[in-house]
Amino acid sequence: MNPLLSSWEAPFELPPFDTIEDADFEPAFDTAMDAASARISEIADNPEPPTFENTIDALELADDDLGKVLSAFYTLASTDANDTREELMRKFSPRLAAYSSEITMNMALFQRIETLWQNRDTLDLSDEQNRVLMLTRRGFVRSGALLEDADRARFRQVTERLAVLGTEFSQNLLADERSWFMELADEDLAGLPDFLISAARAAGEEKGADAPVITLSRSLIVPFLQFSSRRALREAAWNAWSRRGANGGKTDNRKNAAEILSLRSERAKLLDYDSFADFKLETEMAKTPEAVRGLLMEVWKPARAAALKDADILTEMLAEDGVEGPLEPWDWRYYSEKRRAAEHDLNEAELKPYLQLDRMIEAAFACAGRLFGVEAAPLDVKLHHPDARAWEITRNGEHIAVFIGDYFARGSKRSGAWCTTLRNQRKLGGDVRPVVINVCNFAKPPKGTPALLSYDDARTLFHEFGHALHQMLSDVTYERVSGTSVARDFVELPSQLYEHWLEVPEVLSEFATHAETGEAMPEDLLARMLAATTYDMGFQTVEYVASALVDLEFHLGDPPADPIQRQAEVLDDLGMPRAIAMRHATPHFAHVFSGDGYSSGYYSYMWSEVMDADAFEAFMEAGDPFDPETSRKLEQHILSVGGSVDPAELYLAFRGRMPGPDALLKGRGLAA
């Protein structure tokens, strides 16, 4: 039998990755898709009057088998891609879009939902059921359920084409990232610390090269730009990194981006919205483009001023090195690292031995234990890749979740870091506990040596584990509102909030231990590191806010015929410092163009940061970063309830008020 369609007998019903073959996916997909479609038809054609149970509950459970197949497939496709899996992604994406349209444009099904909605006051529903009903109806309407005839047909075409384009965008980006690397001769190692040389040698082995190499993995290229004294090599590396998706040929994403923006605008207008941004933001906390722009500009002004002051200092350092001409993007990190070493007596090479991956994982678990009483125990199970590892998460001896960490970069893994699930928490149809995966792209060390992280890497680890806690501590009935199924500008609150515990001195004192000596980080180094946490924040904030504003402007008004030109116009209007680039330029802006998730929504990280800065302040006001009562309220009002309540209500229940941007500016060192 196809292992994807049989009962999964592995511990915790994990997918049987050791027996799944790529040839199993398409027939399993076909079978599960047909079964799901048949169940949808049964619900829509049910001769009995609609009830919550025979309509909404039935819809929630209709595609369980399809979800199992897809969770296993996309885990492999995103973390260990190959030609077969990429071809399957191209096949599956339009079919899944068509399946979604088949559901949301089924008028008999929508009429059952509409009947329930119109009579909701007579149904004796729980608060969560009312929320699920509202979200279900809203999802149908926003997916074209009320459209007729030609508009309905065109909406389906647009949706399916967008699915194809998003998949192509991701695969083009991965192809560019996978194909480029730069071999380093002995003389090219000048200025590079041992940890980077070691990681470059490991990358060279993976690429089959006889020399250390720099790839386009962030964990390699960023430290190379920080430390390499060879300016020409920094420029070559920077150009390759910044031109991902814009190298011409079949992997060029510029036409894809233009078509995606055009189709999104058309889709919004079919639904009678002024712009795609208006459509997208309607369901978020921000609600309107004006609210988003207002927050971003409030942060942009002090951030730009700080960055320009820093640029003047770095330009002087460049001139002192005898370099003529202006400061360039491939210079910033190099001279900023030298300045940090001088002003804070601190450099990345000194810190890294104290930030071991295994110890930072322990720290993330330990903080969760103190805050929420959970414990983690290693599991010996077959996973999707040999580098991945798993833990059982329990509380008071009771199983809570399975947590999987896949931390190392490889050519077959898409870039970035993310949290996903093989299974979401729910109670409908049985008490289903989640299986959660954190995926990162840290540099893999040579065999037998510990993996060392930058401080930014360690923050990423804590960030993604914050998302994982949101999934693992979920306690709702319906999967539709489980875990991270919340407004996009609320979903980053738990993840960004969890980053704060990495900065708690007692956490670092215990877990930041030297890879060779085992000694704790010296108090003076710890103090210097924490004092430098807002160092170069002008640069970091400018590169982020510029990306968020470009994303917003792309989706307002008429779609640009040439997104690259529009990007340049937006940056020019902002007065973008010439030596700072957008964190994600259009051709590799996967957040925005690989799917709709963060389209018009890249601002979400900053919107959530306003709340996370204020939320951690609640612990500080209590006098203890692990205050039990504040932890209890955080779990009760934020982490356990998912999207079962409006996010503004959740935050008000936790904090008693909505925050302003003051705590954010203070936390970033940008307050006046």
Q: Which amino acid is at 260?
A: I
* pLDDT at residue number 348: 85
Q: Give the tens place of pLDDT for each residue, 44-73.
A: 999 999 999 999 999 999 999 999 999 999
Q: Is 481 exposed, middle or buried (0-12, 13-18, 19+ CB in 10 A)?
A: buried
Rounded-to-5 percentages of helix, strand, coil across the chain: 60, 5, 30
Integer angstrom CA distances of residue 314 from 237, 304, 309, 340, 545: 20, 15, 9, 11, 21
* pLDDT at residue number 86: 97
> By the 8 A CB rule, do 456 and 355 touch?
no
> What's the DSSP call for residue 432?
B
With a cut of 90, say whether residue 586 has pLDDT above it: yes
Point out the least confidently predicted range of 337-351, 532-546, 625-639.
Answer: 337-351
With cut-offs at 50, 70 and 90, classify the pLDDT of residue 136: very high
> By the 8 A CB rule, do 195 and 205 touch?
no
- Please state the rounded mean pLDDT for residues 290-308: 97
Domain positions in the chain: 180-244, 353-518
Quote the percentage of the chain above a pLDDT of 70.
Answer: 100
> By the 8 A CB rule, do 223 and 234 touch?
no
Q: Give the tens place of pLDDT for each residue, 68-93.
A: 999 999 999 999 999 999 999 999 99
Q: Give the tens place of pLDDT for each residue, 639-662.
A: 999 999 999 999 999 999 999 898
State the catalytic residue, choosing from 284, 337, 348, 464.
464
Q: Give the tens place of pLDDT for each residue, 353-376.
A: 999 999 999 999 999 999 999 999
DSSP string of 552-613, one letter each residue: HHHTSSSPPS-HHHHHHHHHHHHT--TT---SS-GGG-HHHHSSSTTTTTTTHHHHHHHHHH
Number of helices followed by number of strands (H, E) in the chain: 27, 7
With cut-offs at 50, 70 and 90, classify the pLDDT of residue 669: very high
464 flagged as catalytic: yes
Crossing angle (nearest 10°) for helices 537-554 and 604-622: 140
With a cut of 80, say whether residue 418 has pLDDT above it: yes
Query: Measuring CA to CA, which residue among 470, 469, 464, 406 is closest to residue 439?
Result: 406
3-state class of 440 per DSSP?
Answer: strand
* pLDDT at residue number 537: 96
Q: Give the tens place of pLDDT for each residue, 485-520.
A: 999 999 999 999 999 999 999 999 999 999 999 999
> By the 8 A CB rule, do 503 and 533 touch?
yes
* pLDDT at residue number 439: 98
Give the distance between the most distant pair of CA atoms in the chain. Answer: 83
What is the average pLDDT score of the chain? 96
With a cut of 80, say whether residue 672 has pLDDT above it: no
Q: Cβ of 53: how many Cβ atoms within 10 Å?
A: 8
> By the 8 A CB rule, do 175 and 186 touch?
no
- Give the separation between CA 521 and CA 517, rounded to whole angstroms: 10
- Give the separation between CA 122 and CA 111, rounded to whole angstroms: 17
Q: What is the dihedral of CA 436, 478, 649, 460, to 10 degrees?
A: 10
With cut-offs at 50, 70 and 90, classify the pLDDT of residue 1: confident
* pLDDT at residue number 325: 87
With cut-offs at 50, 70 and 90, classify the pLDDT of residue 580: very high
Task: For domain 353-518, give the CATH number.
Answer: 1.10.1370.40
With cut-offs at 50, 70 and 90, classify the pLDDT of residue 568: very high
- Give the separation between CA 97 and CA 158, rounded to whole angstroms: 10
> By the 8 A CB rule, do 387 and 410 touch?
yes
Q: Give the tens place of pLDDT for each residue, 267-288.
A: 999 999 999 999 999 999 999 9
With cut-offs at 50, 70 and 90, classify the pLDDT of residue 663: confident
